[in-house]
Amino acid sequence: MHYIPGEVYHIYNRGNNQQRIFFSDKNYAFFLQKIHKQLSPACEMLCWCLMPNHFHLLVMATANGCAERPSFGGKPMQEFSYQLGMLLSSYSQAINKQNGTTGSLFQQKTKAKCVSGQAALSVPTPWSYLITCMHYIHQNPVKANLVKKLEDWPYSSFRQLTGADHFLICNEKLLWALSGYGSFSFYADSYGVLDEEMLKKIW
């Protein structure tokens, strides 16, 4: 994926062979710390959700994150791609050490889908693609029967965006500007049934 500044992307990956990637609260916290340290300087984080065997991120690409790193004999890589790769690699090493295992923790390729710009031209309103993706990400724990309410899952941005948590990774001001939401209207719509045809477009 070649990232373009100002465009919004749905980033996701899962455990290799659908294995777990988070085994304890400490694992979730460690992954979030790495997101804050490594990804935040290379993108604008809009929302996220960490599940036992996969994760979702919704990010806006920035000029810094789209800049190419110097290459030493290999193909130049954009800063965001490099930092995401480093995050997953270092997290995998930590989990392998914790569990006494070896091999790949994540699937080989992290997937990214643009949900703005040209990708959004076929949908009814300019940002409905992004909004559907945002609600889909937050609804994951309920759909998986891990919790009954979105706010009961501690490992997603839903709690920050509704004022229940203060682990401030997301750029709320930017998300509200893009989506047209405020925290109250966002909560009211978050439990809505998502359009099946629209869902097909976020993968």
What are the pLDDT digits (tens) for 57-96?
Answer: 999 999 999 999 887 667 889 999 999 999 999 999 999 9
Would you list the DSSP string of 50-89?
A: EETTEEEEEEEE-HHHHSEEP-SSS--EEHHHHHHHHHHH
- For the chain, which residues make up each domain, given as ranges? 8-198
Residue 192: its pLDDT value, please?
77
Nearest Cα to Cα of residue 183 among 164, 156, 155, 169? 164
Rounded to the nearest 5 degrees, what angle is found at the Cα of 32, between the Cα atoms of 30 and 37?
95
| Percentage of the chain lying above the pLDDT 70 cut | 86
List own/partner pairs for 98-104 with CB under 8 A and 24 or more apart.
Answer: 98/23, 98/27, 99/23, 103/16, 104/16
pLDDT, average across residues 160-177: 84
Residue 189: its pLDDT value, please?
85
Residue 121: its pLDDT value, please?
47
Gyration radius from the chain CA atoms: 17
Residue 41 has pLDDT above 90, yes or no: yes
Residue 65: its pLDDT value, please?
96
Residues 108, 14: Cα–Cα separation, whole Å? 9
Would you list the DSSP string of 135-194?
A: HHHHHHHHHTTS-SSGGG-SSBTHHHHTTS-----S-HHHHHHHH---HHHHHHHHTSPP
Residue 126: its pLDDT value, please?
47
Contact between 46 and 60 under an 8 Å Cβ cutoff? The reply is yes
Nearest Cα to Cα of residue 11 among 51, 47, 65? 47
Residues 105, 98: Cα–Cα separation, whole Å? 12
Residue 149 has pLDDT above 70, yes or no: yes
**Which SS3 state, helix, strand or coil, does residue 44 take?**
strand
Q: How confident is the model over 187-198, as pLDDT tens digits? A: 888 877 776 666
Residues 15, 89: Cα–Cα separation, whole Å? 13
Contact between 137 and 56 under an 8 Å Cβ cutoff? The reply is yes
**Lowest mean per-residue pLDDT among 23-27, 29-33, 119-123, 170-174:** 119-123
- Yes or no: domain 8-198 corresponds to CATH 3.40.720.10: no
